[in-house]
């Protein structure tokens, strides 16, 4: 590979662009169809994560899109609670009194709902995002007694041969990116209104 010349690399890029064009076109069309024309002064990391999640979706990096979507929401919640509860602040409403910086995504979602920032429907969708994300970041061995829990083999199949099992990484990413674009601006706006 290291012997490739610039012309060879350019040819590889052209071939990739041709091959991936239709998928990127359809994903961009979908992004535009669900886009909200709302701009807020998001916390800087959130804005970067938001843009990267959309870029990952557009380019077909589905797992990265899921992870970046989750990071966007997590950092929004964490930033808001840092601001509201102070440096080294603790969650106030969630049953476990964690420091904001140490709180899990689960705890941040629960805190956001308990303090009235998000509603139950948004809470449920965010927990669904968390459940979708978990297998990609916490892969497991093949269960010995049951195959009900997702394991690395099922996850591999979900990515490379989704027609063999229920669901795909692309479907998971579509749920995540839809949640991000439809819900994130409204949730972020409420942070400035609280």
Residue 3 lies in a domain: no
Structure pTM? 0.82
Residue 21 lies in a domain: no
Residue 105 lies in a domain: yes
Domain count, the chain: 1
Residue 177 lies in a domain: yes
Residue 140 has what pLDDT?
61
Residue 22 lies in a domain: no
Residue 45 lies in a domain: yes
Residue 163 has what pLDDT?
64
Residues of the chain predicted below pLDDT 70: 1, 39-41, 139-166, 194
Q: In which domain, by residue range, is 152 found? A: 35-193
Query: Could you read off the pLDDT of 90-133 as tens digits, one per residue?
Result: 999 887 778 999 999 999 999 999 999 999 999 999 999 999 89
Residue 26 lies in a domain: no
Residue 145 has what pLDDT?
58
Residue 80 lies in a domain: yes
Calpha distance 52→66 (Å, rounded): 11
Residue 77 has what pLDDT?
95
């Amino acid at each position: 590979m290291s012997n490739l010349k610039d012309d060879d690399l350019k040819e590889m890029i052209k071939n990739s662009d041709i091959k991936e064009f239709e998928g990127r076109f359809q994903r961009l069309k979908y992004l535009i169809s669900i886009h909200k024309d709302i701009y807020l002064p998001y916390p800087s990391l959130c804005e970067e994560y938001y843009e990267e999640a959309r870029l990952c979706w557009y380019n077909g990096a589905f797992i990265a899109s899921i992870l970046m979507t989750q990071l966007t929401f997590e950092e929004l919640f964490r930033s808001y609670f840092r601001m509201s509860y102070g440096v080294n602040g603790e969650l106030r409403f969630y049953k476990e009194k964690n420091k904001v910086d140490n709180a899990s995504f689960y705890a941040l979602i629960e805190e956001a709902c308990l303090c009235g920032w998000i509603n139950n429907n948004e809470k449920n969708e965010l927990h669904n995002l968390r459940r979708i994300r978990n297998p990609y970041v916490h892969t497991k061995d093949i269960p010995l007694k049951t195959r009900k829990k997702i394991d690395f083999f099922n996850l591999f199949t979900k990515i490379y041969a989704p027609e063999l099992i229920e669901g795909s990484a692309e479907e998971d990413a579509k749920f995540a990116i839809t949640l991000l674009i439809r819900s994130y601006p409204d949730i972020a706006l409420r942070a400035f209104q609280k």
